Structure 1
Amino acid sequence: MKPSAFENPGKFWRGNLHTHSNLSDGILEPEEVCRRYKAEGYDFLALTDHFIGMYDYPIVDTLPFRDESFTTILGAEVHSGTMENGELWHILAVGLPADFKPSNSPHFLPVENQESGPELAQRCVEAGAFVAVAHPQWSGMTLNDARSITAAHAVETYNHGCANGCDRADGFHTLDL
């Protein structure tokens, strides 16, 4: 059943701004990820693989998978600096240029001389990206962390992979900051 809000006049777009392929920790080739989303009736997709060194800092070229009824947006899940819990930031950057300069993030562990998460988010915005905090509850984000990332446009409020993997899927606690 469709929620009644979608029966109102206007154009509604169905999309996903956070998913991965086998170019990072996903299972499927980028082409197959795009094909499946299109087959399920999605209008757009941002394939946001983990932008870290162990995966060669991918910004996946999904432009060949666009057509008149389905579009893709270049992006990545970028990582750098530590949150209060000592873990790296997980930040979605949708609309990144293909030549975006990587942070010093060779893997998912903190290293010396990393820019902070808020600094990386600001750099993504300056490059033209729409920035969102990814799966804040799964990441263990504190309210102080959330308040520090002033360049973010949004917070991911639900992540089904996090629901299946560890039952920490929502980010609602950070919405009104």
Structure 2
Amino acid sequence: MYEITLCKAITKEEEGRYLEVPFPMPEKTERIDVAYEIIDKGAVTSVVDLGIRDDSRVRGWSGGARKSFYLTVEKATPGYLPGSLKPGEWAVLLGGYKIAKTGCEVKITIQFTMREPRWYKGDLHTHSNHSDGMYSLEEVVSIAEKHQLDFIALTDHNTVSQNFCFPKENNIVFIAGMEFTTHHGHCNFLGVADPVRDFRVSSSEEALAKVAEARQSGALIVLNHPHCSFCPWEWSMDVAYDCVEIWNGPWREDNQRTLDWWQQQLSLGRKIVAVGGSDVHRPHPFIRHGFPTTWIYSEGRDTSSLLQALRQGHTFITYAPEAPTVHLRYRDKMMGDQACVKEGNINTAFTGLAEGDHIRFYTNRGLAAEHIATENIQRYQVEVKNEKFLRAEVWRKFNIPDVIDAYLPVTISNPIYFNTKE
């Protein structure tokens, strides 16, 4: 973040005029905050209106009602339009409504928050009272903020009304969604407010056509809980999807079956992005927002950037919002990327570990290495030779009387892939 200060003197003769104070919008701006102060030269108070334009249109006007405003790609102060913060010449707009005879000076402060890659965490599978959930949208926001989630996808069953009334005045990135719910499987359509005109299907051909329609509209497709005991994906697996939900709600045998299937597919040479989602509907001791949490390494804090990073596989899953994190690196390549390496060492790092956590590394040959954590932060170099991929899991012993006494995963990474050709 950095800040600039602009000053504009306004004379009595400019009363009733609209004035511009130009400034350059830097590249890779994620958010701007504009505030102004009117400094009078005498005892009479001047009234100066406030607004802003980009290089092609007025983006907002609040008159004398506000002393500050902000703009981002997806949100803005009421009275202002969210949207692209494209580089170029912008201008703060001033209106000389009532100017003292001695004139005044307007001091304008602009803060630029720059886009920079970092990790964002959230929940990609939730329900509200717009379908069969119990939570209002305001309650969803409150819970997400409580767990310090950065984003949340509302994926109500076969409806999109929630996408048009998500509360704006908060810091949560809302990802528009719909859970395409059929008698033979569920999948999420993410990133588009109204991805299909009709959800009803009665055959595999119709289901695949509906998924194709959503994808054509720009939606990211996630196959949900494909090995669920109650609602598995029974349509063709040849459907064009972007991700698979390998972790749905609390860890259970259904998730383990999907994890095993995913490992098999990766070993066959397929590149499949794994994600998680709580599938929360109502208050429950174990099914809660952010349990599990999907982490995304994104260039920006907006839906488009987050979903682009998700498509690239720059993501890992944890059992809760506060849990061990994982990083796999080979030079400038990370999870989801393909590195050109036939033989070499992959740098790995874990934070938030508990003593006794089991750290496991998998390749297409199966379990490649296992370590027991002795410290909160652990780093390892994993040697690979002619492998297709490397991924990591962290397992922890949970002992809750009368509930569970077992090792369960707390972190699952996506793979870093290898091109072993010379």
In structure 2, the gaps of 5 or more residues are 1-116, 271-422
2:254 counterpart SS class? coil
Is residue 214 of structure 2 the alignment partner of residue 124 of structure 1? yes
Q: 1:76 aligns with which of 162, 172, 178?
A: 178
Q: 2:187 aligns with which of 91, 104, 118?
A: 91
Q: Is the 8 A contact 1:30 1:62 kept in 2?
A: no
Please provide the CA RMSD for this pair: 2.8
Superposition map of 1:55-70 within 5 A: 57-61=159-163, 64-67=166-169, 69-70=171-172
Deviates more, 1:17-26 or 1:124-133: 17-26
* 1:169–1:26 distance in 2 versus 1, CA, 3 Å: farther
Displacement of 1:34 after TM fit? 2.3
Aligned position for 1:140: 232
Displacement of 1:153 after TM fit? 0.2
Superposition map of 1:104-119 within 5 A: 104=200, 111=202, 116-119=206-209
Displacement of 1:24 after TM fit? 1.6
Q: 1:39 aligns with which of 146, 149, 152?
A: 146
Q: Is the 8 A contact 1:63 1:72 kept in 2?
A: no
Deviations 1:4-63 (A, max 9, x none): xxxxxx511001111111222222112212220122110001100000xxxxx3341366
* 1:132–1:64 distance in 2 versus 1, CA, 3 Å: closer
Q: What TM-score do you get using the length of structure 1 for normalisation? A: 0.69
Is residue 125 of structure 2 the alignment partner of residue 18 of structure 1? yes
Q: Is the 8 A contact 1:16 1:44 kept in 2?
A: yes
Letter in structure 1 aligned against 2:255? A
Percent identity over the alignment?
Answer: 23
Displacement of 1:161 after TM fit? 5.9
Letter in structure 2 aligned against 1:19? T
Aligned position for 1:169: 255
2:140 counterpart SS class? helix
Aligned residue pairs: how many? 146
| Structure (1 or 2) with the greater strand fraction | 2
* 1:64–1:89 distance in 2 versus 1, CA, 3 Å: closer
Letter in structure 1 aligned against 2:219? A
Aligned position for 1:154: 243
Letter in structure 2 aligned against 1:97? A
In structure 1, the gaps of 5 or more residues are 1-9, 52-56, 81-86, 106-110
2-structure distance, mates of 1:39, 1:90: 29
Displacement of 1:98 after TM fit? 3.1
Letter in structure 2 aligned against 1:37? A
Deviates more, 1:30-39 or 1:152-161: 30-39
* 1:37–1:161 distance in 2 versus 1, CA, 3 Å: same
1-structure distance, mates of 2:197, 2:129: 21
* 1:161–1:101 distance in 2 versus 1, CA, 3 Å: farther
Displacement of 1:73 after TM fit? 1.1
1-structure distance, mates of 2:195, 2:220: 16
2:247 counterpart SS class? coil
| Structure (1 or 2) with the greater helix fraction | 1
Displacement of 1:88 after TM fit? 2.3
Letter in structure 2 aligned against 1:141? W
Per chain length, whose mean CA-contact separation is higher, i.e. which structure has more relative contact order (CA < 8 Å, sep 6+)?
1
* 1:130–1:60 distance in 2 versus 1, CA, 3 Å: same
2-structure distance, mates of 1:97, 1:78: 13
